[in-house]
Each structure stands twice: as structure tokens, then as C-alpha cells.
A and B are shown apart, each in its own frame.
Chain A
Amino acid sequence: MNNRVFIFSLFLIIVFSGIFSNAQDKKIMYGNTPDSIFPYNNFQKAYKYHFIEPRIEFLGAGREKKAPTDLTEVRIGFLGPLENSPIVDLGKQMLNGSILAIEEANALGGYKGIPYKLMIHNDVGLWGAAANEVIQMDDEKVWAWLGSIDDIVSHVALRATLKCEIMMVCTGDPDPTFTETNIPWTIRVISDDRQSSYALANYIYRTMKHDRIAVIRTGARYGRVGVMEFLGVANRLGHPISMEERFAEMGETDFTMQLKNIKNEKPDAILIWGNAKETGLIVNQIREMGMNQPIYTSDRAVSDEFLKIAGDNANGIVTTCQYDPTADNPSLKKFQADYYKRFGMEPNVFAAHAFDGMNLIIKAIEKAGLNRVLIRDLLTDRETFQHYKGVTGEIILDASWNDVGDIFMAKVENGKFVFFPAAQMKERGHSTRMVGY
């Protein structure tokens, strides 16, 4: 009898020690990715997992450099689509958010009495051009910089900023691969398309119980990479996409050919991944062709432009948004009022996140002093600004310095977006107790 009690007790200890050892998994969950949708996880443990603590640090020199004593302005860089780009409207909002943060900081005395100055650079959306802009920022001796939205621009700029060793705070590019590069010179303070895809997939397949989804997306990298995560999640949840159609990034206004194919496929619902204008036009043409399926879209539909183009057809559309602009948040209300007063327009998601991102840069400069590496150290330490409460909500960075804070669903009702929290996928994060860790 005593033997049995002993053996049973030993059994319980071993079993529960295994359970307790999983407690740290929550802390290190990469990209909020549950086991069930982690790549290959249902079939094969990977030999090596990346982006999990202990993560990479910048171990180069530079912390020893003294701050200059003869400055008349403290320069911060800005890179965004301001000319010759299909997303100029988004870039201008991002610039406005940055300007507002700079002006507020200067009204409070700047950096020890020295005013901040925004060094504004246009990204033209062409391959490689962003690299030259970052080099210019290095020549201008900026202390950190903010940008951009276009994923091509951001990737090219990221590699250049590594070479120049200038901290980059990204507030607009949702490309999931942007922070999957192991470069220790950036943080992203906006939810990416991985988070949007998880939220959309959860809503579409688990809440709405759809099975067969057809996708129509822009042929630009934003569409290709953005929808990639959704396709992966759909597969792993057991609902492979039944059809994927593409359209041109600019200039295409008639989507009949793609929509005919989708109509013949008779999907349960349709997902559109593109900019606001094209998304609005596609919604209209879907309804004109007599298709009554529920429509879901990528987050760029959250705009006045989309509502104006789609009109009544917008009602019922569901998408995601990286923050809740209707949240009962006093700092958000103040930001919205100040922004309207300064620029005569409502801020959008890119303005709000740029305001938060620029404030993080300013706070880091004021805390670290004028040293690029020390500014980087503060922004990336996941302590100083972890859980920072900005106008967009709480910023939480995972081990790849990607924002995994809350994301929201947005549904059009009576011509307006109504926001509500996205349901979380509740499974435990993938275990790191395997070879390589």
C-alpha cells in the first residue's frame, strides 16, 4: 500500500512538474501564435525556433560616444509616402501625427531647451530609393527616425538603418516579415497583418462558421504578403482558401473578370485585401453582380474614402483595425481634438500610431540623451516602454519587437464603423522546450 502511495505521488510530481514548466510559454509566445496555427506544429517540431527569448541584442560599439555640445536643433527623421505614391493620403496623416508630437514636445521646452526638428523624407515606393533616404538621414545626423507604410520601403530602409546604426520606429508597415529579420535597430508599434489575419480568421471561421472563402487581393506586395498569413491560418484551421484572384495595384477599376470567377465558385464569403479605393469599388461590383455573400476586408478599408465609394454597400462589411478610435481614452480624445484643431481633419490610424511612435522616440531621447545606441537600447529593452499607454492603446512588444497589443474588429453599421475587441485564440503558445532552446 505504501509502495502504491509512493509511486502514485512520484507520478503526480512528474506530471505536474511538466505542467508547471510550461508556465513560461505565455511570456514568450511569438506573434500571439497559438499551437494550432504555428507552421508545421501539428506534424513536426522544428529544429530551431527564431524570435524567441533570449533574443538578439546589438553588441556593437557606440555607447561610449559623447553627446555633441554645440547643437541648435535635435533632429529626428521621417520617411513616408508624401508624393508620387498611391498611399499619399496615409503618408500625410502619418506626417501630421509626427508633427503634432514634435510641436507638443517643443512647446514643453524641447530637449533641454533645444528644439526638435523633423527631417522629412519622401519615399517614392520604388525599389531601393529608401536606402538613399536613410543615408541622407545619417548625413543629417538624425538621432532616430520614424517610418514608413509601404513594406518595400520599410524593408530596404531597415537594412540601411542597420548599417548606419540609427533607430527606426515603424508605425505604419503591417508586413509580418518586417520584424522577422533579426535586425536589432527597429521596433514596430502597430499591429501587423499576422495579427489582423488571426483576428479575421477567428471571426470568419469560428464566430461566423464560414467554410469556403474566396480571396481577391492587390497584386502589390501589400496584398501578397498580407494575405499570406491569412492563407496559412485558414489551412491550419482546416479551411483551405477556395480561390484567390488578383488585381493591379493602381489603375484597375473594373474587376468583372475576377468577380465572375468568384461568383462561379459560390463561396460562403469573400475577403478583399487592398487599398481603400479598390476595396470600395470591388464591394460595389460584387453587389452589382448579384452576389450577397458576407464581405470581409483588410484594414485599409477603415477610411472615409472607402465609406464614400461603397456607400450603402459598405453596411455589414467586417474588417480589422489596429486601435479603437472610439475608445473611452482621455489621451486619445485629447489627441483627436488637438489634431483636428491643428490640421482641420480627423486623424486616421496612421496619424494616431505616428503620434505614439514619435512620442516614444522623444521620450527615449530625453531619457537616454543624444546617443544613437543608448536611444536604441531604451526603445528595445522591453521594459522601459513595455505596456506604454499611448493614444492607440497599450503597446506590447514581443521578442521580435513587434507590437502584439490588442487588435479590434470594425463593422460598418448605418454607414459608420463600429469597433469591438477581436476575440483571442485561446490556445497556449507554442512550447520552446525543444532542440535549439
Chain B
Amino acid sequence: MKTNLILTIFIITVFLITGTSSFGFTKSGNQTNAKGEGNIPKYGNWKNFTVADGLPGNKAYAVRVDGDRVLVGTHEGLAVYEDDKWTTYTTEDGIAHNGIIAIDVSELTGDVWLGTMGGLTRWSGGVFESFTQLNSGMPNNLIYSVVCDGKDVWIATGGGAGKYDTYSKEWDIFTEQNAPMHEPWTYSVCAGDNKVWIAAWGGGVIEYNNKTKHFRDYVDPDGNMEIDLFPDDGVVHDITTAVSWSNGILWVATYFGLSRYDGVHWKGYFDHDSGLASNFINFVRAVGDYAYLCTDQGLSVTDGESWVTYVRNENNHDGKVIITTGEQKSEKKLSPSISHNFVIGVDVKDDVIWVATSYGLSRGERIN
């Protein structure tokens, strides 16, 4: 009898100890897989480009497909790939700065807009025209992001977001003085559904409604930089690095993980609870139902439920594809793989993907 009593106390004690150590908010490892990884575009037949192939520099910040040509922003200038040839444009041609960080193409006019380390450049009709703080109402010369939204061109800078009306040729500047930003440090901008979203460093995401001209903000509800208190309660961190919108979904990248917002619910993703290659996300581009995530440890593609991640081996040109659905994970060899695992930019058009990395550019073809 006494032994039973001791045994019971022991079991309860062990239960309490183990229970205490795992106390807290836990997330289920089993997630539903309504869409399935089979629908996520998968890419192969990778071809890589470096200086040896004609790029002006190996560090590629941005890539944009523009019809039959591909525009690549590097630290040493703009590289244009057309008819299997590379052509380089630099400050000598009229670009504001050789460090080209962001690229967008206006659907309205076909003009190319370049966000550089020294100003904003428009490439129109073969002529480069540059905007700087000195010759225009731009908030700062270091342009982290540029996006064309109809007649407007939006930029994100460390001195605030700017909107350039190409008809009136006037700038509107948005900072903590006239928008719900904690600080005016903005690093990404995207547009869609008659709205514009701005990634504000330390201030989460700012939404601007083109119709009402009103702003609203989305911040991490726990209000602390060192934690994410609850999963799926809002943007995972206030230090946001990139935003992209497609098919009603806003994707928000941070250096701490990824967030997905469907207009009602937020969902957070980290590398420990999903197939995300790394929590350090340089850039995100949403195309259709999929988000293409440029991380410091590879390229991930997701629909929010399943994941396909491309990584390169350390010591050779090969790599692997990691497919994750819920807790199920599988790997396939990839030969060759992407140019480098530190991925900075991506663009997708039809069945071709272009990936800008810390060391070279990659082109892949859809294989499913």
C-alpha cells in the first residue's frame, strides 16, 4: 500500500516536472495539406552566370524579367540579358549609381525604374534620367525598393517612403510625421488591390489605401523585439525587410521569419516549424498563389502549406531540393544547383525563374 502511494506520488511528480518544462504555447506539427507540394512549381536545368559569363559583378541584388530580356542589378551596374548576350550600363550611361538594388518595369509605359545606392533612375526610350535628393523631392538617395503602380512610382528609403506621380511630376513623402510609422525607415514597397504596403523597419507593415488615402499599420502584437509571444497573432517581428502581394495574400519577410496575411488572419512561419530555408529573409516575391523567398540559406517556394527549398552544396556545383509538407520531409539531388545559397532577389515569368545571389545569377526551368 505504501509502495503504491510512493509510486503514485512519484508519477505525479514526474508528470508535473515534465509538464512544467514544456509549459507554454505550442504549435501543432501536423498541418493540413489541402493543396499539396505537387502543385508547387519545381525548377531544374539550372544555368548559372557570373563575371566570367558577362555579368559586371558577381554580387547580384535584384532581377526582373522584362519581356524577352532580363534586367539584373549588381554592385557594379545594370546588366541586361537579351539574345544570349549581356550588356552593361553604368553611371557613365546616366544611371545614378552603379549599386542597383531594386528594379521594376511600368506596365503602363514600359519604362524601367532602377532603385540605386545613389538615387532613382528611369530608363525610358533608351535614355537614363536620374532623381536624387538634390534635384527632386525624393526622401533619400539610397533606394531599397521600387514598384510601379499605374502612373505612380513608389520607393522605399531609410528616410521615408516616396510616391512619384509621373503625370504631375510631384513627390509625396511619407514618414512618421504623416503616416503611422514608428520611424521613417522603410525598406520595401509593393502594390495590389488598389493598396500599397510598406515594410517599415521597426514599424511592421504600413498599408496605404489608394481610394481613401488612409493609412493603417500592422505590428507585432507582443511589442517586444526579443520574442514572438504567440504564433499566428500578427506579423512575426517589427523589423520587416520585404513585402509582396498576390491573389489576395500579403507576404511579409523579416530577418526573424515569415508572415502571411489573408486580410483577416495572420500566420507565422519559422525555420523550425516549416520548410522555410532560414529565418533571415532578404526578399520575397509573390507570384500567383506562391511566395518565392530569398534567404541566406537558399531559395524557398511555398503556398503557405508545402515548401520546396533549393540549396547548393558547399564544395561543388550540385545541391538538393528539400520538399516539406507538414512534418514530412524528403530530399532530391540537384545537379547543378543555384549559384549561391545567399539569395537576394528573384523573378518568375511563365516557366522560367531567375535568382540573384551573393555570387552570381541563376536561371531555372519549371520541370513539373
Which residues of A are in contact with B by a Cβ distance under 8 Å?
3-4, 7, 10-11, 14-15, 18, 30-31, 39-40, 44-51, 56, 58-62, 126-132, 134-135, 138, 152, 155-156, 159-160, 163-164, 177, 180-183, 221, 433-437
| Residues of chain A within 8 A of B257, CB atoms compared | 48
Whether a CB of chain A sits under 8 angstroms from the CB of B113 is no
A30 to B227, CA, bound (A): 11
Chain A residue nearest to B117 (CB atoms) is: A135
Chain B 180-203 against A: per-residue CB contact (8 Å), 1 yes, 0 no?
000111010000000000000110
**Cβ-neighbour of A60 out of B7, B21, B22, B342 (below 8 A):** B342
| Residues of chain A within 8 A of B122, CB atoms compared | none
Chain B residue nearest to A182 (CB atoms) is: B255
Distance to closest chain A CB from B152 (angstroms): 21
| Residues of chain B within 8 A of A128, CB atoms compared | 139-140, 142, 157-160, 184
| Residues of chain A within 8 A of B101, CB atoms compared | 163
Are A47 and B230 touching (Cβ within 8 A)? yes
Are B297 and A59 touching (Cβ within 8 A)? yes
Q: Which 10 A-B pairs have the closest CB atoms?
A: A128-B159, A45-B24, A61-B359, A46-B227, A60-B358, A128-B140, A60-B342, A180-B225, A182-B255, A131-B142
Whether a CB of chain A sits under 8 angstroms from the CB of B287 is no
Are B239 and A182 touching (Cβ within 8 A)? yes
Whether a CB of chain A sits under 8 angstroms from the CB of B178 is no
| Residues of chain B within 8 A of A18, CB atoms compared | 17, 21
Distance to closest chain A CB from B86 (angstroms): 19
Chain B residue nearest to A49 (CB atoms) is: B227
| Residues of chain B within 8 A of A160, CB atoms compared | 142, 158
Distance to closest chain B CB from A102 (angstroms): 27
**Cβ-neighbour of A155 out of B58, B144, B183 (below 8 A):** B183
Whether a CB of chain A sits under 8 angstroms from the CB of B224 is yes
**Cβ-neighbour of A127 out of B17, B158, B358 (below 8 A):** B158
- The answer to whether A7 and B140 touch (CB under 8 A), given A39-B227, A45-B25, A56-B280, is no
**Cβ-neighbour of B141 out of A131, A138, A433 (below 8 A):** A131
A4 to B3, CA, bound (A): 7
A234 to B53, CA, bound (A): 60
| Residues of chain B within 8 A of A152, CB atoms compared | 183
| Residues of chain B within 8 A of A11, CB atoms compared | 10, 13-14
Q: List 12 A-B contacts (CB under 8 A).
A: A7-B6, A18-B21, A44-B24, A44-B229, A49-B226, A50-B237, A61-B340, A62-B358, A131-B158, A132-B133, A434-B24, A435-B24
| Residues of chain B within 8 A of A433, CB atoms compared | 21
Distance to closest chain A CB from B167 (angstroms): 26
Distance to closest chain A CB from B41 (angstroms): 25
| Residues of chain A within 8 A of B99, CB atoms compared | 135, 138, 163-164
**Cβ-neighbour of A50 out of B141, B160, B227 (below 8 A):** B227
Chain B 341-361 against A: per-residue CB contact (8 Å), 1 yes, 0 no?
110000000000000011100
- The answer to whether A435 and B27 touch (CB under 8 A), given A47-B231, A160-B158, A183-B255, is yes
| Residues of chain B within 8 A of A434, CB atoms compared | 22, 24
A14 to B12, CA, bound (A): 13
- The answer to whether A4 and B6 touch (CB under 8 A), given A128-B157, A135-B142, A433-B21, is yes
What number of residue pairs across chains A and B have CB atoms under 8 A from each other?
Answer: 175
| Residues of chain B within 8 A of A56, CB atoms compared | 255, 279-280, 296
A437 to B272, CA, bound (A): 8
Whether a CB of chain A sits under 8 angstroms from the CB of B131 is no
Whether a CB of chain A sits under 8 angstroms from the CB of B228 is yes
A134 to B117, CA, bound (A): 10
A142 to B149, CA, bound (A): 38
**Cβ-neighbour of B342 out of A61, A138, A155, A159 (below 8 A):** A61
Are A15 and B255 touching (Cβ within 8 A)? no
| Residues of chain A within 8 A of B222, CB atoms compared | 39-40, 46
A11 to B58, CA, bound (A): 60
List B59-109 residues whose CB lies under 8 Å from chain A.
59, 61, 97, 99, 101
Whether a CB of chain A sits under 8 angstroms from the CB of B270 is yes
| Residues of chain A within 8 A of B10, CB atoms compared | 7, 10-11
| Residues of chain B within 8 A of A45, CB atoms compared | 23-25
Extra A-B contacts (9), CB below 8 Å, given A132-B118, A435-B27: A18-B21, A44-B24, A47-B24, A48-B257, A127-B183, A128-B142, A128-B159, A156-B159, A159-B158
A394 to B141, CA, bound (A): 39
- The answer to whether A15 and B158 touch (CB under 8 A), given A49-B227, A128-B140, A182-B280, is no
Are A14 and B17 touching (Cβ within 8 A)? yes
Chain A residue nearest to B343 (CB atoms) is: A60
Distance to closest chain B CB from A18 (angstroms): 6
| Residues of chain A within 8 A of B183, CB atoms compared | 127, 152, 155, 221
| Residues of chain B within 8 A of A31, CB atoms compared | 226
A160 to B18, CA, bound (A): 46
Are A135 and B141 touching (Cβ within 8 A)? yes
Chain B residue nearest to A57 (CB atoms) is: B296
Whether a CB of chain A sits under 8 angstroms from the CB of B175 is yes
| Residues of chain B within 8 A of A3, CB atoms compared | 3
| Residues of chain A within 8 A of B357, CB atoms compared | 61
Are A61 and B158 touching (Cβ within 8 A)? no
**Cβ-neighbour of A14 out of B14, B141, B272 (below 8 A):** B14
Whether a CB of chain A sits under 8 angstroms from the CB of B316 is no
A50 to B268, CA, bound (A): 15
Are B6 and A156 touching (Cβ within 8 A)? no
Whether a CB of chain A sits under 8 angstroms from the CB of B26 is yes
Chain B 1-44 against A: per-residue CB contact (8 Å), 1 yes, 0 no?
00100110010011001000111111100000000000000000
Are A59 and B296 touching (Cβ within 8 A)? yes
| Residues of chain A within 8 A of B227, CB atoms compared | 39-40, 46-50
Whether a CB of chain A sits under 8 angstroms from the CB of B256 is yes
